[in-house]
Amino acid sequence: MILMEHIIREGHPTLRTRAEEVTFPLSAEDRQLADDMLQYLINSQDPEIAEKYNLRGGIGLAANQVNSLKRMFALHLEDENGELLSFVAVNPKIVSHSVEQTYITSGEGCLSVDRAVPGYVYRYARITVKFMTVDGEEKKMRLSGLPAIAFQHELDHLNGVMFYDRIDEKDPFIQLENSIPFGRD
Ligand code: NI
């Protein structure tokens, strides 16, 4: 079971290292890691379990964050239609994206960052993605809204990129053209 003490925090070199492609069939160890990452998210969103184990709530978790350099991450969240998206993406890629960008008005957070970092993190508003499931099945998906944002945040982790790398240093709340805000605060 993944606990907060297993999640590495900013400053750890693994968060700045590009993760490596996973080979199929998945090793028992890789599959366990995939299951554990998704389970962490599910547990962290369950008020009783989260309180019992002191888990910070999350919608996404990348392997880098548990100190493993494998190209996989878990997502567990609802889309704007209330549809549950819950999966582990192995060797994920963005195959196409909108020109339009989006950003969470209250900024992004990360389980590996124990502080609020103010500023807008611009992401593609809509993306088409491909990835492998843990069973070696290829998936293609169109994402928008929060799932699109979360997918890009996690994919960044696999490339050693932190969300705040994308905040404009001089003008953290810069308003870019051709962008739509997500959420309100
Ligand atoms: Ni993160």
What tokens appear for 156 in the block?
């960044």
Ion ligand 1: residues, Cβ under 5 Å: 110
Per-residue pLDDT tens over the stretch 70-92: 999 999 999 989 999 999 999 99
Is it true that domain 4-182 has CATH number 3.90.45.10? yes
User: In the chain, at which residue ranges do the beta strands (DSSP E only) sit?
Assistant: 60-62, 72-78, 84-97, 101-104, 123-124, 126-132, 138-144, 179-182
What pLDDT is attached to residue 174? Answer: 97
What tokens appear for 107 in the block?
């900024």
Measure 162 CA to ligand 1 centroid, in angstroms. 7
Per-residue pLDDT tens over the stretch 19-40: 999 999 999 999 999 999 999 9
Measure 110 CA to ligand 1 centroid, in angstroms. 4
- The one catalytic residue in 10, 83, 108, 154 is 154
What tokens appear for 7 in the block?
């999640």
Measure 49 CA to ligand 1 centroid, in angstroms. 21
Q: How far apart are CA 20 and CA 86, in angstroms?
A: 23
Measure 112 CA to ligand 1 centroid, in angstroms. 6
Q: What is the mean pLDDT of the chain?
A: 97
What tokens appear for 91 in the block?
């060797």
The total of other beta-carbon atoms located within 10 Å of residue 35's CB is: 13
Indicate the pTM of the whole model: 0.97
Measure 33 CA to ligand 1 centroid, in angstroms. 17
Q: Which residue carries 């962290």 as its tokens?
A: 44
Q: Tell me whether residue 100 is one of the annotated catalytic residues.
A: no
The domain segmentation of the chain, as residue ranges, is: 4-182
Measure 43 CA to ligand 1 centroid, in angstroms. 17
Phi, psi of 14 (to 5 degrees): -60, -30
Q: Which of 13, 7, 123, 117 is nearest to 73 (CA)?
A: 7
